């Protein structure tokens, strides 16, 4: 029998969140049921709840930064047991047989993976995310959260952590490499911490200097305001890698001019508008403009273990169910330091 659980629901695009209930499927052979403790708020939740990326599925329960405790396991489950500290990120299933799934790059599954929310299971059922009290998922898409990281600061690692870790690793961030992180929000602040822990020289390119002190504390070596034209002169040709976490339109030619020979600028931010640039901005320095999308399951586990080994978690503000609408407004105004995390015990109606 499916279980009825409490959730925060947006009934239509841009609607306020309401306390309501959803059904979670019965725990199958390979499933684990998780008591959700914390759910991070990613800017992607806002894009989808407001239908900024195209048509979405409503009612919607967002949330793909989920941390909690296993409360039940199916008979065939081997990876997790009751009481384990676990997490779920951006997808809960994939085809498991395409070349990308077999290579552990399930985020690029050829059949299309099953998004944690605003998606459909391969059976056609809508998926509902982490702004809820419980979730049921296949054990292979559930991550282990190492003992060293508290669940509240671990939750944002399931998206913000892996989304920055994956391109930093792929493009070789490490000792001797100069990395710039554009935008110091949820993704950006994790990018700073992880790039620093990987041994790279890290520079933040933020709209203003208002978060400079924090940035330097989190591991940045340098911090510049992009509102100051001098920033683009001072850093011309400097960076091996620029990770862009901004979801607004940027003057890409100016950012590309900051890359050294063979440097790469990688988009993880997902603006709703098409972006433009002059091809000369690439050819002049054999530069690359690229994109990256979250990470695979094994890489996500590697990232969690890396963060535990380096004592890294997200900088968070824990909020209750009543504060989610306001948190969305604050994120859009770049007034977040640096991730809102919902205490899911506040979701059930009193």
State the minimum distance, in angstroms, from the CB of residue 44 to Zn ion: 4
DSSP state of 135: E
DSSP assignment string, 156-184 = GGGTHHHHHHHHHHHTT-STT-EEEEE--
Binding of ligand NAP at residue 346 (CB under 6 A)?
A: no
Select the span of 96-104, 176-184, 261-269, 311-319 touching Zn ion (CB under 5 A): 96-104
Binding of Zn ion at residue 42 (CB under 5 A)?
A: yes
Instruction: Choose among ligand NAP, Zn ion, none what residue 145 binds, the Cβ cut-off being 5 to 8 Å by kind.
Output: none
What is d(CA 249, CA 120) in angstroms, rounded to the nearest whole number?
30
What is d(CA 11, CA 58) in angstroms, rounded to the nearest whole number?
6
Choose among 37, 136, 69, 3: nearest CA to 344: 37
> Cβ closer to ligand NAP: 32 or 159?
159
Q: How many residues bind ligand NAP (CB under 6 A)?
A: 28
Binding of ligand NAP at residue 331 (CB under 6 A)?
A: yes
Q: CB neighbours of 205 closer than 8 A, spacing ≥ 6?
A: 180, 181, 182, 183, 224, 226, 231, 235, 242, 255, 258
Binding of ligand NAP at residue 113 (CB under 6 A)?
A: no
Binding of ligand NAP at residue 188 (CB under 6 A)?
A: yes
Q: CB neighbours of 203 closer than 8 A, spacing ≥ 6?
A: 178, 179, 180, 181, 220, 221, 222, 223, 224, 235, 238, 239
State the minimum distance, in angstroms, from the CB of residue 248 to Zn ion: 17
Binding of Zn ion at residue 270 (CB under 5 A)?
A: no
Binding of ligand NAP at residue 245 (CB under 6 A)?
A: yes
CA atoms in the 13 A half-sphere facing the CB of 261: 0
Binding marks (x or -) toward ligand NAP, 38..67, rule CB under 6 A?
A: ----xxx--x--------------------
Binding of ligand NAP at residue 193 (CB under 6 A)?
A: no
For Zn ion, the binding residues in 144-163 under the rule CB under 5 A are 159
Select the span of 4-12, 112-120, 264-272, 302-310 touching ligand NAP (CB under 6 A): 264-272
Choose among 330, 46, 42, 334: nearest CA to 161: 42
Binding of ligand NAP at residue 220 (CB under 6 A)?
A: no
Instruction: Choose among ligand NAP, Zn ion, none what residue 300 binds, the Cβ cut-off being 5 to 8 Å by kind.
Output: none
Q: How many residues bind Zn ion (CB under 5 A)?
A: 8
Binding of Zn ion at residue 98 (CB under 5 A)?
A: yes
CA distance readout (Å), 35 to 3, 32, 71, 85: 12, 10, 6, 10
Choose among 73, 57, 65, 63: nearest CA to 7: 63
Select the span of 29-37, 134-142, 231-239, 241-249 touching ligand NAP (CB under 6 A): 241-249
Instruction: Choose among Zn ion, ligand NAP, none what residue 266 binds, the Cβ cut-off being 5 to 8 Å by kind.
Output: none
DSSP assignment string, 288-325 = EEEE-----HHHHHHHHHHHHHTT----EEEE-GGGHH
Binding of ligand NAP at residue 163 (CB under 6 A)?
A: yes
Instruction: Choose among ligand NAP, Zn ion, none what residue 244 binds, the Cβ cut-off being 5 to 8 Å by kind.
Output: none
In terms of DSSP bridges, do strands 91-93 and 17-24 run parallel, antiparallel, or are they unpaired? unpaired
What is d(CA 115, CA 131) in angstroms, rounded to the nearest whole number?
14
Binding of ligand NAP at residue 235 (CB under 6 A)?
A: no
Binding site for ligand NAP (CB under 6 A): 42-44, 47, 159, 163, 183-188, 206-207, 211, 245-248, 268-270, 292-294, 331, 334, 336
């Amino acid at each position: 029998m499916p279980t009825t659980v409490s959730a925060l629901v947006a009934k239509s695009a841009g609607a306020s969140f309401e306390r309501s209930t959803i059904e979670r499927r019965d725990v199958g052979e390979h499933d684990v049921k998780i008591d959700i403790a914390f759910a991070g708020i990613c800017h992607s939740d806002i894009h989808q709840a407001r239908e900024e990326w195209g048509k979405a599925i409503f009612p919607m329960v967002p949330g793909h930064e989920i941390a909690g405790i296993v409360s039940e396991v199916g008979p065939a489950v081997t990876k997790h047991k009751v009481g384990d500290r676990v997490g779920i990120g951006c997808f809960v299933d994939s085809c498991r047989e395409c070349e990308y799934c077999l290579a552990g790059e399930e985020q690029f599954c050829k059949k299309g993976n099953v998004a944690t929310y605003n998606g459909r299971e391969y059976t056609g059922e809508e998926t509902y995310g982490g702004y809820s009290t419980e979730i049921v998922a296949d054990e292979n898409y559930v991550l282990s959260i190492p003992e060293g990281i508290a669940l509240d600061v671990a939750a944002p690692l399931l998206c913000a952590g892996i989304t920055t870790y994956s391109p930093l690793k792929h493009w070789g961030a490490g000792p001797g490499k100069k990395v710039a992180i554009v935008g110091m929000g949820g993704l950006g602040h994790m990018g700073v911490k992880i790039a620093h822990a990987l041994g790279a020289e890290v520079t933040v390119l933020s709209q203003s200097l208002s978060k400079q002190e924090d940035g330097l504390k989190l591991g940045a070596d340098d911090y510049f305001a992009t509102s100051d034209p001098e920033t683009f002169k001072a850093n011309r040709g400097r960076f091996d890698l620029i990770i862009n976490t901004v979801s607004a339109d940027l003057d890409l030619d100016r950012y590309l001019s900051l890359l050294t020979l063979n440097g790469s600028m990688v988009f993880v931010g997902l603006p709703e508008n098409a972006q433009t640039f002059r091809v000369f901005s690439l050819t002049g320095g054999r530069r690359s403009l690229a994109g990256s999308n979250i990470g695979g399951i094994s890489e996500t586990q590697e990232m969690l273990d890396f963060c535990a080994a380096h004592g890294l978690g997200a900088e968070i503000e824990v909020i209750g169910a009543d504060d989610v609408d306001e948190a969305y407004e604050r994120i859009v105004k770049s007034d977040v330091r640096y991730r809102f995390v919902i205490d899911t015990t506040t979701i059930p109606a009193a």
